Amino acid sequence: MFCFRENTRQTSHGRNNLELLDINGDENLKFLLKGGELVKIRSGSWQKTRFFKLQDDCKTLWHESKKTLNKNQTYSIDNVESVRMGRQSEGLNKYTDPSVERRCFTITFKNQQKNLDLMAASEENAKQWVNSLEKVINKMQNLSHQQKTEHWFLACIQKADKNADNMISLKELKHFLKQINIEVDDTYAADIFRKCDESNSGTLEGPEIKKFYELLTKREEIYVIYGTYAKTEGQMTANDLLNFLLNEQREKASIEDAVKLIQKYEVDGTAKEKNLMTKDGFLMYMTHEDSSIFNPAHKNMYQDMTQPLNHYYISSSHNTYLMEDQLKGPSSTEAYIKALMKSCRCVELDCWDGPNGEPIIYHGYTLTSKILFRDVIQAIKTYAFKTSPYPVILSLENHCTVDQQKLMAHYMISILGDALVTKPLSRTMPTTFPSPEELKGRFLIKGKRLNKLDDVFTNNNTIVQDAVSEEDEAAEENEQKSKPKKTKIKLAKELSDLVIYCKSVHFNSFQHAKDQQAFYEMSSFKESKAFNLAETSATAFMHHNMDKLSRIYPAGSRTDSSNYNPVPMWNVGCQIVALNFQTPCKEMYLNQGRFLPNGFCGYILKPEFQRNLSSQFNPNTLTKGPWLKKKNFHVMVISAQQLPKLKDKAKSIVDPFVKVEIHGVPADNAKKQTHHIDNNGFNPMWNERFSFDIHVPDLAMVQFVVEDYDSTSLNDFIGQYSLPLSSVQNGYRHIPLLTKRGDIISSAKVFVHLILLDAK
């Protein structure tokens, strides 16, 4: 595979990556490698033809550029989030005519990089581009860890081969080692080089590069584990593997399970026939998703989805329309698409009167840009159920006049159609919420309602026309932008009638809510109010959430769109804990981790003690009850592999350390960290043990954060992974690492040993 022959760079590197992706000779790939002209669209006046092609590494899309300083522009396939056919972006929708719908497509990216809006010469050509790109992206995403490592290695070797002669000199080898995040002295580099240069030619090529790869990626720590359990002439039988699964991994496994693993991961045909697992097969198994920290049984939907809606934590976004800060950041339909594609199930629409009678969405009284309400509804309709089938709540913050409210109602009815819930699901007045299962594929509107829901069944059209005072949540949410003068907003009946299960009401007290409010009447709490209630009246707050929905939102003073810690809110059973999805931060990492299990569907069933009215659970003062299941959580941080270099410190080698944090009830919150390793981001080794006492494991989350140590300034973030403690697998496990934006860092992993035991 790693043969650098005396041939062209394209044939050599290209063939290696084609073989790895298993698409050599594929027509779609040939099409991309050949390339073609597309119109790149930036505005109404900037629409220019450029030549695009996939580079020979099969992971970089290139196009010519007319810029003097930047003749070539490239886009990493690893960084592509999606390829959308049609005019499915704000830019294409705005700057192209509907007649070219089928010729257009958009490439979106995982980071903050701008969309690439493109138009092909014909519908057939556009389809070929989209299908071909999707095929290569899909192949890249589904490579095994070992294949990703090999692919990454090939790309790095290609970069290091400065003179393009398909051979690696000692100088190029040193450059390569620095590029992959290892600082070595000249003597060590020369020693590695000498070991691999079997031909004594002064360069590495062909099998010598393969030997260098094997030497570099050797996992001594895994081979030690293998040696402990491989009891049959240095190889592992099915019984040996079963012994490892039962005693080390603490899995419920049978001899049949062990045989299946051997058949799935063993790379040596002869060993596979004898049901033996070699060292290489064991390494393949240990680096695969089956050996990940995340319990595979929790990857798909596994929870009961037939409970009332308020029995679930619901992934929720605040100021969903914003891409950046709350003062001057851009508003965009793209922000809604990104949130929905991350399985966000409650989005916010901040609605204001716009020109030409058209309602708009933006952060009122600020310099944030404006988008049309109807465009947002259309985007929501298109993307709401791409990643999750469960209901989406549209949280309306309404500042519009009656005429524009009527238009809002018209757009929601006409665009969302039958998917919009416009009346209770039952024929009689409901007393509890329907379930996520009953609401599959449906939209719920959250907002003010002029009359009671009971009136739907009595034909009573009596309404309270003095509608909405500044006391309502709209004004509360926008204290930093609202006019100081108290105002009243009339509410259009057409909009009011669309509010069925999520009627916004002002919160007075838990007792008042219990005595006076129906189950469908819900309040929104500013973070300071919510945190105070969670501190002083935790059990009452939890009981309130057993009957009703609560929405928590960030303080208006967070003009930088920062976030509060969502964990204390989940601890008292709040469902709609709304965060700024556009802001990468620790709080969003926890949110992503909370909703990682159950098929990443945006709904997580709350623990039984947060749903049972007899429960007296208080997260702040733990008493005996079904929530108290004391555990000892033992963590050994062993090593890491292929940590990325920091973009703004490209010449520097990272000095990594690992933080292990528990987030849950106050008694469980804890943080511990390893020492840092100097100048090694490729294969640092720590072998450090930590122990945590856990009181309420059902609410605990574990977070692993890798940072670059800096003695003179703040440590730099490298990657993180968060998940509920209940979804953690015991034993030797690999932890994938995610970027700030929540995307997988290809090849990078942390290797740990974990044991969760009942406390004595």
The pLDDT tens digits of the residues spanning 37-80 come to: 999 999 999 999 999 999 877 788 988 877 655 556 888 888 89
CA dihedral 618, 621, 622, 627 (to 10 degrees): 20
Cα separation of 656 and 748, whole Å?
13
Strand order in the sheet with 701-708: 670-673, 656-663, 701-708, 716-724, 731-738, 744-758, 631-641, 685-694
Q: What is the pLDDT of residue 18?
A: 54
- Residue 579 annotated as binding site: no
- Residue 553 annotated as binding site: no
**Helix (H) or strand (E) segment spanning residue 282:** helix 279-286
- Tell which wins on pLDDT, 680 or 405: 405
Domain closes at, from 141, 170, 186: 141
- Residue 292 annotated as binding site: no
- Residue 395 annotated as binding site: no
Q: What is the pLDDT of residue 477?
A: 47
Write out the residue range of the structural domain in which residue 45 sits.
9-141
**Same-domain pairing of 635 and 743:** yes
Q: What is the pLDDT of residue 475?
A: 47
- Residue 503 annotated as binding site: no
Domain closes at, from 556, 578, 610: 610
262-266, 389-393, 465-469, 615-619: range with lowest mean pLDDT: 465-469
Q: What is the pLDDT of residue 72?
A: 63
Question: Across residues 78-94, what is the average pLDDT?
Answer: 90
What CATH number should be reported for the domain holding residue 454? 3.20.20.190
H helix intervals, 478-595: 493-496, 510-516, 527-536, 538-547, 567-571, 586-594
The dihedral sign for the CA sequence 240, 243, 248, 252: positive
**Same-domain pairing of 382 and 456:** yes
- Residue 653 annotated as binding site: yes
Question: Across residues 479-494, what is the average pLDDT?
Answer: 65
Question: Across residues 704-716, what is the average pLDDT?
Answer: 92
What is the chain's mean pLDDT, rounded? 88
The dihedral sign for the CA sequence 614, 619, 625, 628: positive
Structural domain contains residue 150: no
**Same-domain pairing of 333 and 442:** yes
Q: Which of 145, 311, 318, 753 is catalytic?
A: 318
Structural domain contains residue 582: yes
Q: What is the pLDDT of residue 290?
A: 84
**Same-domain pairing of 606 and 458:** yes
Distances (CA, A) of 46 to 95, 118, 332: 9, 12, 20
Q: Tell me if residue 175 is catalytic.
A: no
Question: Across residues 132-145, what is the average pLDDT?
Answer: 83
Q: What is the pLDDT of residue 296?
A: 92
Structural domain contains residue 575: yes
- Residue 594 annotated as binding site: no
Q: What is the pLDDT of residue 69?
A: 57
Structural domain contains residue 4: no
Q: Tell me if residue 318 is catalytic.
A: yes
Q: What is the pLDDT of residue 599?
A: 96
- Residue 680 annotated as binding site: no
16-30, 265-279, 487-501, 662-676: range with lowest mean pLDDT: 16-30
**Same-domain pairing of 402 and 543:** yes
Structural domain contains residue 158: no
- Residue 264 annotated as binding site: no
Q: What is the pLDDT of residue 71?
A: 58
Chain segment 505-529, per-residue pLDDT in tens? 999 999 999 999 999 999 999 999 9
Question: Across residues 203-229, what is the average pLDDT?
Answer: 86
**Same-domain pairing of 530 and 383:** yes
**Same-domain pairing of 226 and 332:** no
Tell me the backbone φ, ψ of residue 332, rounded to 5 degrees. Answer: -160, 145
**Same-domain pairing of 639 and 537:** no
Strand partners, 315: 577
Domain closes at, from 141, 172, 207: 141
Q: What is the pLDDT of residue 175?
A: 80
Q: Which residues are CB-contacts of 114 (< 8 A; sequence separation ≥ 6)?
A: none
What CATH number should be reported for the domain holding residue 32? 2.30.29.30
Tell me the backbone φ, ψ of residue 173, rounded to 5 degrees. Answer: -65, -45
Cα separation of 282 and 271, whole Å?
12
Strand partners, 53: 62
Chain segment 320-375, per-residue pLDDT in tens? 999 887 777 788 999 999 999 999 999 999 999 999 999 999 988 888 889 999 99
Q: What is the pLDDT of residue 493?
A: 95
- Residue 319 annotated as binding site: yes
123-132, 482-491, 531-540: range with lowest mean pLDDT: 482-491
Structural domain contains residue 203: no
Question: Across residues 253-275, what is the average pLDDT?
Answer: 94
**Same-domain pairing of 570 and 647:** no
Confidence of residue 86 (pLDDT cuts 50, 70, 90): very high
- Residue 217 annotated as binding site: no
**Same-domain pairing of 505 and 586:** yes
Q: Which of 13, 298, 311, 363 is catalytic?
A: 363
**Same-domain pairing of 447 and 589:** yes
- Residue 144 annotated as binding site: no
Structural domain contains residue 2: no
pLDDT at position 5 over 60: no
- Total count of domains within the chain: 4
305-314, 432-441, 644-653: range with lowest mean pLDDT: 644-653
Q: What is the pLDDT of residue 320?
A: 93
